A and B are shown apart, each in its own frame.
Chain A
Amino acid sequence: MRPTLRMLSESLVEQIIAEGMALLRDPGVRVHNEEARRLLAEAGADVDAVRLIARIPETIVRQALETTAHEFDLFTLDGRPAVHYGGDEVHFDPGSAALSILDPETNRQRVPLTADFVRLVKLVEQLPQIDAQSTAMVCGDVVPEIGDLYRLYLALNYIRKPIVTGAFRTDTWWTMKEMLVAVAGGEAALAARPIAVFDVCPSPPLLWSDLTCQNLIDCARAGIPAELVSMPLAGATAPVTLAAAVVQHTAECLSGIVIGQLARPGARVVWGGSPAAFDMREGTTPMGDVATWMIDCAYAQVGKRLGLPTHAYLGMSDAKIIDAQCGMESAGGTLLGALAGINMISGAGMMDFESCQSLEKLVIDAEIIGMAKRLVRGIEPRDEPIALSLFRKLGHRADYLAEPHTLKWFRKELYLPSPVIDRATTDGWLRKGATTAAERAAERVGSLVASYQPSPVPPELRAELRAITTRAARKFGMTALPPLPDFERV
């Protein structure tokens, strides 16, 4: 049996969906995108062209829930299904779009550069617990206008795993699509075997900005999956009661599903988010708070009731260094998200709310993720009878270590951690240098990155990606890109 977390009673789920639908009728959703307003009006929504508000009747929402994709796969760059969105399957990718990296030398944050990003991408390839890549940091050595697409350009040169990404502008989305089409071998191939999903974020409360709405429409039309990242901030941009924050999330995501389906029926849209419970002292957005995790798990339950693929930002910490708080918060969110059966959990490596990536934290988080994945595989009988034959054979002898039964099952039954997790005797720990988890993590980052094998990207595709990116950079006054580590001379 798969252990499962249920945050809401069935009747509360129904009421939340009903109130979410009611919010779309009154007060409606603010839509700052002209095309989306036109689509909504044509479908029968009551659109106020002055206040930019769409009131969406339930029939349109129900229709969209019929046509939206209920499950789909993301593929590796060589065409194998790697991530299944749907059901209770759980996958993990690093938190995305960090503006800083925790420098392991100084233990302070700094601006990430191309070399940092490439190192992170290689590390993610080498971590078996992490299922997908993400465009996890924004590099400071290119012009900000190409900050989004440059990450994808770098990643596509090194990755095999599928990637969670997102655009910061409407025009850069097209450049990013062009790259994905080049890698997939055509638009039809990309739509048939998507290798990327785009995060699109409504603004709380109940607003679709022009940019994010256009990204959603463009994704839907191109057959590229989009992940709705609704982020009610309970107590600030959303009601403080957790159930009411989930109602707001429901309304924002339902409106995203509607816009996606009006752009193209059948579009793949994920029920996702990054809510937080506002910190009432500091005025910050804690990702490591138990109420934050509860909102995530609750909205995932709502999405599952609607038969939708799910996503959440979990497994992050608000700590500024790798300390006890960092591990505690990351573990809490990761374990709960896994138990809630959330299809894609983004956040590994992330700290300082959602602003800083740490490679060292990422390898520690990979251990937490390994344990979480073990947890949700649950406990199986394995043998029939479960234990009687073993005891008939061994009686009272404690010889299980030598028993073939142990050799047969231990890799399946136990999670076997990397040396990041210390389980040595005290003497053994002292002999190995009396290290902290962060120190062992730094060592593992080094060895994993060194073991990375280049992805089989043909030289002509590499050149094409570079040409696409250089064209975009020139539009913003940047004539040459930083050298590509391992391929171009620094």
Chain B
Amino acid sequence: MCSELLAQIVASLVAGDPDATVDGTRQALAAGIEPLAIIDGGLVPGMRIVGEKYSTGEYFLPNLIVSASGMKQAMAILVPELKARRQHLTSSGTVVIGTVRGDIHEIGKSLVATMLAANGFEVHDLGVDVPTDAFVARVKEAGANLVGLSALLTTTMHGQKDVIDALTKAGLRAQVKVMVGGAPVTRKWADDIGADGWAQDAVAAVDLATRLVAHVQQVV
């Protein structure tokens, strides 16, 4: 029964049916399955398959987004349950994300934000054309351990460095890992400006974020 319900959750994510993912999550809770077991045995494996299908070219961005939205809705049900049990996700972190100053491109940034939220991160999405100081202020306020900076233009990517410099100046650099992304952004650029990581797409960004946050937690 348990494994059947979890298999249904996996199938709903792979099929891209958020309503079924939510229903399955509710049914699993009602059947007495622990929230952590639902996540580890249903949601995470389901999203992993979706991510793999995206990586191999079988699935496209709309598949990714719709499944992530299903997982996000399911997490919204499960997180209060976890809190009630005084449990927490080991992999998750708090991320402040936005497109840097002068750049109004939203799609890539929102995709990463959705995928992170779907994977249990607490996401503070500051939107687009975000002033450098706003990143710093929100990191402080939310106690974030991860910052995601997006830029689509060669003319605006320098704004990523500005945020990193501002975090250093505010004495927050040791507490956060910074990941950068966007069409013109490369691993070399990330290294040059002192970012902790670079990801080429939203699936890779989740892997990177998980690795970076695990690292922070180890250090702390």
A: residues with CB less than 8 A from B are 99-100, 144, 203, 235-237, 278, 280-284, 355
Contact = CB atoms under 8 A, between A and B. Distances in A.
Contacts, number: 25
Closest CB pairs A-B (n = 6):
A280-B60, A280-B61, A236-B107, A99-B154, A281-B60, A283-B108
Contacts of A237: 107
Given A144-B155, A235-B62, A281-B61, 6 more contacts: A99-B154, A278-B107, A280-B60, A281-B60, A282-B201, A283-B61
Interface in B44-61: 57, 60-61
B153 interface: yes
A378 B196 CA distance: 59
A283 B60 CA distance: 9
Chain A contact residues: helix, strand, loop or mixed:
loop
B107 A99 contact: no
Contacts of B62: 235, 280
A355 B157 CA distance: 15
19 contacts: A99-B153, A99-B155, A100-B154, A144-B155, A235-B62, A236-B107, A237-B107, A278-B61, A278-B107, A280-B60, A280-B61, A281-B60, A281-B61, A282-B201, A283-B61, A283-B111, A283-B201, A284-B183, A355-B154
Interface string B175-204: 000000001000000000000000001000
A281 B57 contact: yes
Chain B contact residues: helix, strand, loop or mixed:
loop
B95 to A, nearest CB: 19
Contacts of A355: 154
B153 A283 contact: no
A116 to B, nearest CB: 16
Interface in B144-174: 153-155
Contacts of B155: 99, 144
Contacts of A280: 60-62
A282 B181 CA distance: 13
Contacts of A236: 107
Contacts of B201: 282-283
Contacts of B104: 203
Contacts of A203: 104
Contacts of A144: 155
Nearest to B202: A283
A280 B202 CA distance: 13
B129 to A, nearest CB: 11
A144 B57 CA distance: 40
A283 B107 contact: yes
Which of the listed residues A99, A237, A283, A355 has the most CB atoms from chain B within 10 Å of its own CB?
A283
A23 to B, nearest CB: 21
A99 B103 CA distance: 14
